[in-house]
């Protein structure tokens, strides 16, 4: 006899609600970021394109996760059949979810690395970025192929009662989790040595490092997901015991999209609410009689003129500052950029709204 899914323990609606909220926030932030970059700053970079693609795949995995819960996940296996569910279809949607989840994670990583390539001209650092891209793309491709063909025949991934040969599920899931978390930590810590060498006051430097370390919040969700993977690999009730792992697998890429978009909110907020930053930064500086110097772009000539600001890609009318480990003053002439110098766009500079000196 078929009973209502509401008559038995069912975590499915919770999954739908949580992922709907996160994906909606992702969508609003990504649209805002793309509109701001294209219409206000006049350029869209590869980092924006990658985050847009990640958003599209995030919507897809949200739908796939919802369908997996609709058919089986979130209910005890013994209750799936009698509530009109279908464990085979639930596992099939879960199989598809695993594939596109890995693709979304990859696109998020590429978005962060592309941002580094746009901001830092150091040849050594850019080479490191390109090597990291190769590792991320190659690793993701390998795990996606392994996920698709984890069982022979392929349909044995969701038809559990047919003759099959499958990889060991526990080592496979742990290997992806370890690779994913390690690469996350590596990517989000990559720019820290360069940022630490910037000749800025402590508050601005720490604030800037905080902006670039926002991605570490993704590592937190990845670690939480690993905890629930450990639980799911030991369960004898997969549709119930694996639900938390499914949920955090949807939360993780959504968190990555949010973190990649947060740095782009500073200037729009500053334009909409001019006093939001100046009241805590500029106001306090002026009250103490101190002024904050800005980098200049060339020494003045004999006739009182100065060199014009160099036009950089994705400038969008904002000021650029060139700060390197070799500089000794806040004012620099436009000599060729050395390998150990850093080109930083000033709209990513956190003006100590989080940290006060």
Q: What is the pTM of this model?
A: 0.76
| CATH code, domain with 96 | 1.20.1070
**Residue 23 falls inside a structural domain:** yes
In this predicted model, what pLDDT tens digit does every residue of 276-289 receive, in sequence order? 444 443 443 343 44
Identify the pLDDT of residue 107: 97
Per-residue confidence band for 3, with pLDDT thresholds at 50, 70 and 90:
low
**Residue 275 falls inside a structural domain:** no
Domain that holds residue 119: 11-263
- 333 has pLDDT over 50: no
**Residue 202 falls inside a structural domain:** yes
**Mean pLDDT value across the chain:** 78
- Whether omega for the bond prior to residue 138 falls within 30 degrees of 0, making it cis, is no
Identify the pLDDT of residue 2: 59
Identify the pLDDT of residue 245: 92
Count structural domains, the chain.
1
Rounded Cα–Cα distance for residues 105 and 101 (Å): 6
**Residue 233 falls inside a structural domain:** yes
Q: Calculate mean pLDDT across residues 99-127.
A: 94
Query: For residue 73, what are its two tokens?
Result: 């996940």
**Residue 291 falls inside a structural domain:** no
Rounded Cα–Cα distance for residues 302 and 99 (Å): 64
**Residue 65 falls inside a structural domain:** yes
**Residue 208 falls inside a structural domain:** yes
In this predicted model, what pLDDT tens digit does every residue of 199-209 receive, in sequence order? 878 888 887 88
- 11 has pLDDT over 50: yes
> How large is the C-alpha radius of gyration of the chain?
24
Identify the pLDDT of residue 301: 42
Query: For residue 295, what are its two tokens?
Result: 């980098």
Per-residue confidence band for 349, with pLDDT thresholds at 50, 70 and 90:
very low
**Residue 327 falls inside a structural domain:** no
Identify the pLDDT of residue 317: 36
């Amino acid at each position: 006899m078929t009973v209502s899914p509401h008559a038995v323990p069912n975590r499915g609606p919770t999954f739908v609600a949580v992922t709907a909220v996160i994906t909606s926030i992702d969508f609003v932030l990504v649209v805002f970021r793309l509109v701001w970059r294209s219409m206000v700053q006049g350029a869209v970079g590869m980092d924006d394109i990658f985050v847009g693609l990640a958003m599209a795949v995030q919507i897809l995995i949200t739908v796939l996760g919802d369908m997996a819960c609709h058919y089986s996940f979130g209910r005890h296996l013994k209750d799936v059949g009698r509530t009109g569910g279908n464990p085979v279809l639930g596992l099939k949607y879960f199989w598809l979810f695993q594939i596109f989840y890995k693709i979304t994670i990859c696109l998020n990583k590429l978005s962060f690395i592309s941002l580094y390539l746009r901001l830092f001209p150091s040849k050594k650092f850019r080479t490191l970025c390109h090597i990291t891209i190769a590792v991320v793309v190659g690793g993701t491709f390998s795990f996606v192929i392994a996920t698709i063909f984890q069982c022979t025949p392929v349909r044995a991934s969701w038809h559990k009662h047919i003759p099959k040969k499958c990889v060991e599920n526990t080592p496979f899931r742990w290997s992806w989790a370890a690779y994913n978390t390690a690469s996350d930590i590596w990517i989000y810590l990559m720019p820290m040595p360069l940022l630490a060498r910037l000749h800025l006051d402590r508050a601005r430097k720490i604030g800037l490092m905080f902006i670039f370390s926002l991605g570490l919040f993704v590592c937190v969700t990845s670690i939480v997901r690993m905890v629930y993977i450990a639980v799911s690999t030991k369960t004898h009730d997969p549709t119930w015991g694996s639900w938390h792992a499914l949920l955090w697998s949807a939360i993780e890429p959504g968190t990555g999209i949010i973190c990649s978009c947060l740095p782009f909110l500073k200037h729009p907020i500053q334009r909409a609410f001019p006093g939001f930053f100046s009241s805590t930064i500029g106001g306090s500086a002026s009250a103490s009689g101190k002024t904050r110097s800005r980098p200049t772009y060339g020494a003045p000539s004999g006739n009182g003129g100065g060199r014009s600001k160099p036009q950089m890609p994705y400038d969008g009318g904002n000021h650029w500052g060139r700060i390197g480990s070799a500089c000794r003053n806040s004012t620099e002439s436009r000599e060729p950029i050395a390998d150990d110098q850093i080109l930083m766009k000033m709209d990513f500079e956190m003006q100590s709204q989080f940290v006060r000196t």
